[in-house]
């Protein structure tokens, strides 16, 4: 084989990447006359180099993008950089440089890596969230949200990561540890900025039932996170003094069984209600609880402990005097931070009551069983009939929930309410490398928005990175000191920056119009592209990014920026990349470097393997030999096409009506494969089976040795279609071979071929014959054989007779064109 006939991925890949870039093949503009398709993969954090997760994510996306494009869609397929964040600061400290330098160098390198993969992005729309041109609009939105009360500041206990030295949102705490660095999270009382995502809790929940394009498990995770529960707020008057304790309960049907009250140790009334003689014990208890770290405090084996405050409140239904306790399992952040304790019907209250010898009253009686408080070993939490509940006795407890709620409302002692687990989104971060929150603090005027004329608040560059802790911004006098926009007196800038999840909550909108100078988004262009038709990324963002982005879309809709209710119509969550049974990670030492892979095999092989080895949603087991196999396959394609180049160039015009049996069979295989590949990509995203089908076709084509003029025409069609089918998966090699076959137009610009329905039709059918459901024989019959004939053939078949002779034929089931099942007994 001569040198020019050898498959050298490096050469052809560079050639076509350059061609696509020069010709702006994948540049798109809004065109209302064409069907749009917005395809988006989650943009990467510029950590330094891409990893296999990126290779997989972007390979999957690229198949969809190239396929939809060939199908005639106006495809928006952008890429950019989630460029603010902590690692840049850490790197700056370590290397004595600047986060911006580190970030932009990484972007340059990774952009190059992505380009080497041959991805079909419109690079003209590239954005980096750390560019002022991007984050300036976020500041404007922040102020709009501030004016609407959707951004606000409050003093509260917040999650503090001592290692990152910053606050975390609830969603960013995993198992009591920081989502990024895994340090144990502490509770700290601080004044912080929040986004009022709870205002949208109901809508965020409702739409999870109207998003059929999302995986059910992501929707379930979001529903659980939002955590809506219906119940009542009930006021328990304090004994011997004014005021009341308000509780939230979903079990108002058990109100008559409430025998004591449990408050969170952090409850505002905790100390106020403590009598002088109990004071020492109570403060000691509060201290102990506060010192208990979050992991242990939320461990399920933590013993229920509490302390009596010395005060009492009154059950509004029974008039019973209820001792008020502080309890370590009551969470101040959920409900009202106070729980009416019904030990007979709540397991935690039960354990607590047993430990502190508190009274039990049964108020829900199960059918066919009598509960006795003296002998109960666990709380009864199932359905039953209300007892010891005055006027409600005899009601089914579910009906009782309604009745008690109505009664509480009528008496003014409580009301129906809905409670959410979702908390507001804390967005303040005590970091430098983020978007400055555009607020100025004045001793006279309080918090004042930076005026429009002063926007954007540019992140200053001349900052020292000492690694000594705290935000470098807070030490920069030239940044902090500013006159108050209202009264002109000396004031101070906010030095906190925004959570980087804020940038990723609207980047998909900015891609629609990345060059727009007139505001955050150009509504006409954004309306054309939105919503994202297909979003692809890792499952790890199920409740972080994906919830925030939904929230932002709704906020921006209500502020008039966009028209859609939801950002992502279809979501694909791809599986992890595994090697040797574990997720690829530096600490495991099982990382495969994409650069080395591409250098050795080329981008097409890297893409092909990551698409072939598993369907997109499943974890992908990386296997070097499998990669080798894909490389060999591409070599076979290369050789096969080269072998037939002379034949194809000399081929006659295809006339399907004059083909020999052999030629027709070959052509049938080609069109059947095209049908399968089309459906596998378009309807199912099953790229692995699509590729397998093409491999099968290759095996057929390699065996074909045809000599007639029409055979050349059949082969020409076969190779053209083979390359078109493979184009979305392995765009470089197919483009090169396409050109070598003599085509003038680029393969990427061809239309996805339609299969010839008549060519796919079989002439003979294989009919499976079963006796009592077991395979016994196969029949080959002409396509138009009628059912009765097939039945007769099956019954008279020699192999079948061996199993039916001497038995009675009870029934014969015929599935046309497929199968005959003879029931004999």
Site for RNA, residues 694 to 713, rule: CB under 7 A: 695-696, 698-699, 702-703
Residue 673: C-alpha distances to residues 544, 583, 726, 760 (Å)? 41, 34, 11, 9
- Interaction residues for RNA, span 29-68 (CB under 7 A): none
Q: In angstroms, rounded to a whole number, what is the distance separating the alpha carbons of residues 377 and 382?
A: 15
Query: Closest approach of Cβ 688 to RNA, in Å?
Result: 5
Q: Looking at residue 238, what DSSP letter applies?
A: B
| 754: helix, strand or coil | coil
Site for RNA in 247-266 (CB under 7 A): 248-251, 264
Could you say whether residue 355 binds RNA (CB under 7 A)?
no
Nearest to RNA of 17, 59 (CB atom): 59
Minimum CB distance to RNA, residue 625 (Å): 3
Question: Shortest distance, CB of residue 821 to RNA, whole angstroms?
Answer: 4
Residue 303 beta carbon to RNA: minimum distance, rounded to whole angstroms? 7
Q: Does 213 bind RNA (CB under 7 A)?
A: no
Q: Binding string to RNA for residues 299 to 318, with x set by CB under 7 A, is what? A: xx-x-x--------------
Nearer of residues 419 and 739 to RNA, judged by Cβ: 419
Q: What is the DSSP letter of 581?
A: T
CA pair distance 39, 21, nearest whole angstrom: 19
How many residues in total does the chain contain? 825
Residue 768 Cβ vs RNA, minimum distance, rounded to whole Å: 4
Q: Of 337, 346, 245, 254, nearest to 304 (Cα)?
A: 346
**Bridge partners (DSSP) listed for residue 538:** 574
Q: List alpha helices for 42-192, DSSP H.
A: 52-70, 86-95, 99-116, 132-147
User: With contacts defined by CB under 7 A, how many residues of the chain interact with RNA?
Assistant: 85
> Is residue 415 part of the contact set for RNA (CB under 7 A)?
no
Q: Smallest distance from the beta carbon of 241 to RNA, in angstroms?
A: 23
Pick the binder of RNA from 775, 782, 792, 809 (CB under 7 A): 775
Rounded to the nearest whole angstrom, what is the least distance from the CB of residue 542 to RNA in the complex? 7
**Cβ-count burial 221-233 (b if 16+ within 10 Å, e if not):** bbeebbebeebbb
Shortest spacing between CB 422 and RNA, in angstroms: 9
The 8-class DSSP code of residue 74 comes to E
Contact 259, 325 (CB under 8 A): no
Please state, in angstroms and rounded to a whole number, the distance separating the CA atoms of residues 5 and 9.
Answer: 12
From the list 49, 154, 618, 807, which residue makes contact with RNA (rule: CB under 7 A)? 618
Q: Does residue 156 interact with RNA by CB under 7 A? A: no
Contact positions with RNA (CB under 7 A) in 586-615: 612-615
Q: How far is the CB of 677 from RNA (least distance, A)?
A: 12
Closest among 767, 756, 764 to 820, alpha carbons compared: 767
Closer by beta carbon to RNA, 645 or else 768: 768
* Mutual angle of helices 603-612 and 52-70, in 10-degree steps: 90
For residues 598 and 606, is the Cβ–Cβ distance under 8 A? yes
Instruction: Please identify, using beta-carbon distances, which residue of 297 and 475 lies nearer to RNA.
Output: 297
Among 415, 632, 649, 807, binds RNA (CB under 7 A): 632
**Neighbouring C-beta atoms of residue 445, cutoff 10 Å:** 15
133 versus 695: smaller Cβ distance to RNA? 695
CB of 548 to RNA, least distance (A): 14
Q: What sections of 658-786 are H helices per DSSP? A: 661-679, 687-703, 709-726, 731-740, 757-760
* Residue in 121, 195, 312, 329 binding RNA, rule: CB under 7 A: 329
Provide the CA 371 distance to its chain's centre, in angstroms. Answer: 46
Scan residues 509-528 and list those touching RNA (CB under 7 A): none
Work out how close the CB of 318 gets to RNA at its nearest, in angstroms, rounded to a whole number: 17
Q: Which of residues 779-808 bind RNA (CB under 7 A)?
A: 799
Is residue 629 within the footprint of RNA (CB under 7 A)? yes
Which one, 151 or 542, has the nearer CB to RNA?
A: 542
Rounded to 5°, angle at Cα 776 from 772 and 782: 110
Q: Which of 636, 664, 791, 801 binds RNA (CB under 7 A)?
A: 636
Distance CA 447, CA 493 (A): 9
Residues 6 or more apart from 718 whose CB is under 8 A from it? 666, 667, 670, 697, 701
Interface with RNA, residue 633, by CB under 7 A: yes
Q: How far apart are CB 423 and RNA at their closest, in Å? A: 9
Site for RNA in 668-697 (CB under 7 A): 686, 688-689, 691-692, 695-696
C-alpha of 343 from chain center: 40
Among 10, 213, 227, 470, binds RNA (CB under 7 A): 227
Strands (DSSP E) found in 358-469: 364-365, 385-386, 414-420, 425-426, 428-429, 439-442, 446-449
SS3 of 319-343: the string is CCEEEEEEECCCCCCCCCCEEEECC
The region of 111-119, 158-166, 204-212, 220-228 touching RNA under the rule CB under 7 A is 220-228
Q: Is 185 in the site for RNA (CB under 7 A)?
A: no
Residue indicated by tokens 């001792």: 323
Report the nearest approach of RNA to the CB of residue 594 (Å): 19
In the list 182, 216, 655, 786, the residue contacting RNA (rule: CB under 7 A) is 216
| Min separation Cβ 628 and RNA, Å | 6
Residues of span 423-462 touching RNA by CB under 7 A: none
Q: Does 220 bind RNA (CB under 7 A)?
A: yes
Angle at alpha carbon of residue 11, lines to 8 and 15, rounded to 5°: 140
Answer whether 380's CB lies under 8 Å from 366's CB.
yes
Binding mask 533-552 for RNA (x = CB under 7 A): ------x--xx---------
């Amino acid at each position: 084989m001569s040198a020019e006939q050898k498959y050298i991925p490096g050469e052809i890949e560079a050639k076509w990447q350059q061609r696509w870039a020069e010709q702006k093949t994948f540049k798109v503009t809004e065109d209302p006359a064409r069907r749009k398709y917005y395809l988006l993969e989650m943009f990467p954090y510029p950590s330094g180099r891409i990893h296999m997760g990126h290779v997989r994510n972007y390979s999957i996306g690229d198949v969809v993008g190239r396929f939809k494009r060939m199908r005639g869609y106006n495809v928006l397929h952008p890429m950019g950089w989630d460029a603010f964040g902590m690692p840049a600061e850490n790197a700056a400290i370590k290397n004595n440089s600047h986060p911006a330098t580190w970030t932009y160098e990484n972007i340059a390198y990774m952009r190059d890596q992505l380009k080497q993969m041959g991805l079909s992005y419109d690079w003209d729309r590239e954005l980096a969230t750390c560019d002022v041109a991007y984050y300036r609009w976020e500041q404007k939105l922040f102020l709009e949200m501030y004016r609407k009360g959707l951004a606000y500041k409050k003093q509260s206990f917040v999650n503090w990561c001592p290692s990152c030295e910053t606050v975390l949102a609830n969603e960013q705490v995993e198992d009591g540890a920081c989502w990024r660095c895994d340090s144990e999270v502490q509770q700290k009382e601080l004044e912080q900025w929040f986004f009022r995502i709870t205002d949208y809790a109901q809508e965020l929940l409702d739409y999870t039932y109207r998003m059929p394009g999302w995986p059910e498990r992501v929707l379930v995770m979001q529903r659980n996170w939002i955590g809506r529960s219906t119940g009542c707020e009930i006021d328990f008057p304090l004994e011997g003094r004014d005021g009341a304790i308000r509780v939230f309960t979903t079990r108002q049907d058990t109100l008559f069984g409430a025998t004591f009250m449990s408050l969170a140790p952090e409850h505002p009334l905790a100390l106020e209600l403590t009598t002088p003689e109990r004071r020492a014990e109570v403060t000691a208890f509060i201290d102990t609880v506060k010192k208990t770290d979050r992991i242990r405090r939320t461990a399920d084996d933590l013993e229920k402990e509490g302390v009596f405050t010395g005060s009492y409140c009154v059950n509004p239904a029974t008039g019973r005097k209820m001792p008020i306790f502080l309890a370590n399992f009551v969470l101040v952040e959920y409900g009202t931070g106070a729980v009416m304790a019904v030990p007979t019907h709540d397991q935690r209250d039960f354990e607590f009551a047993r430990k502190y010898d508190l009274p039990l009253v049964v108020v829900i009686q199960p059918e066919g069983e009598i509960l006795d408080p003296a002998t109960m070993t666990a709380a009864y939490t199932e359905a039953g009939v209300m007892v010891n509940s005055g006027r409600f006795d005899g009601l089914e407890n579910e009906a009782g929930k309604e009745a008690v709620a109505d009664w509480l409302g009528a008496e003014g002692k409580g009301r129906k309410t809905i409670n959410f687990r979702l908390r507001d989104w804390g967005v303040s971060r005590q970091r430098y490398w983020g978007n400055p929150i555009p607020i100025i603090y004045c001793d006279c005027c309080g918090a004042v928005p930076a005026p429009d004329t002063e926007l954007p608040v540019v992140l200053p560059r001349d900052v020292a990175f000492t690694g000594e802790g705290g935000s470098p911004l807070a030490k920069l006098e030239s940044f902090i000191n500013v006159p108050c926009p209202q009264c002109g007196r000396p004031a101070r800038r906010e030095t906190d920056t925004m959570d980087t999840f804020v940038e990723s909550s609207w980047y998909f909108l900015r891609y629609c119009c990345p060059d727009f100078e007139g505001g955050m988004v150009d509504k006409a262009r954004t309306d054309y592209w939105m919503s994202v038709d297909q979003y692809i990324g890792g499952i790890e963002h199920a409740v972080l990014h994906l919830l925030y982005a939904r929230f932002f879309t709704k906020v921006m809709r209500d502020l008039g920026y966009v028209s859609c209710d939801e950002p992502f119509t279809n979501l694909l969550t791809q599986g992890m990349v595994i090697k040797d049974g574990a997720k690829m990670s530096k600490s495991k030492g099982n990382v495969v470097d994409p650069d080395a892979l591409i250098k050795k095999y080329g981008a097409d092989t890297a893409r092909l393997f990551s698409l072939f080895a598993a369907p997109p949603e499943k974890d992908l087991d990386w296997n070097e030999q499998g990669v080798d196999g894909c490389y060999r396959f591409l070599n076979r394609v290369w050789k096969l096409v080269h072998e037939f180049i002379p034949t194809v160039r000399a081929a006659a015009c295809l006339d399907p009506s004059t083909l020999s049996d052999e030629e027709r069979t070959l052509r049938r295989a080609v069109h059947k494969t095209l049908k399968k590949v089309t459906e596998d990509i378009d309807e199912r995203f099953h790229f692995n089976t699509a590729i397998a089908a093409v491999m099968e076709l290759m095996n057929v084509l390699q065996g074909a040795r045809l000599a007639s003029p029409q055979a050349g025409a059949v082969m020409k069609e076969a190779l053209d279609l083979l390359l078109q089918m493979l184009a979305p998966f392995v765009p470089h090699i197919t483009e090169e071979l396409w050109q070598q076959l003599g085509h003038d137009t680029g393969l990427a610009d061809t239309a996805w071929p339609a299969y010839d329905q008549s060519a796919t039709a079989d002439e003979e059918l294989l009919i499976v014959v079963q006796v009592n459901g077991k395979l016994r024989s196969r029949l080959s019959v002409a396509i138009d054989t009628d059912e009765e004939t097939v039945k007769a053939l099956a019954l008279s078949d020699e192999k079948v007779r061996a199993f039916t002779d001497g038995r009675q034929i009870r029934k014969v089931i015929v599935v046309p064109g497929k199968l005959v099942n003879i029931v004999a007994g």
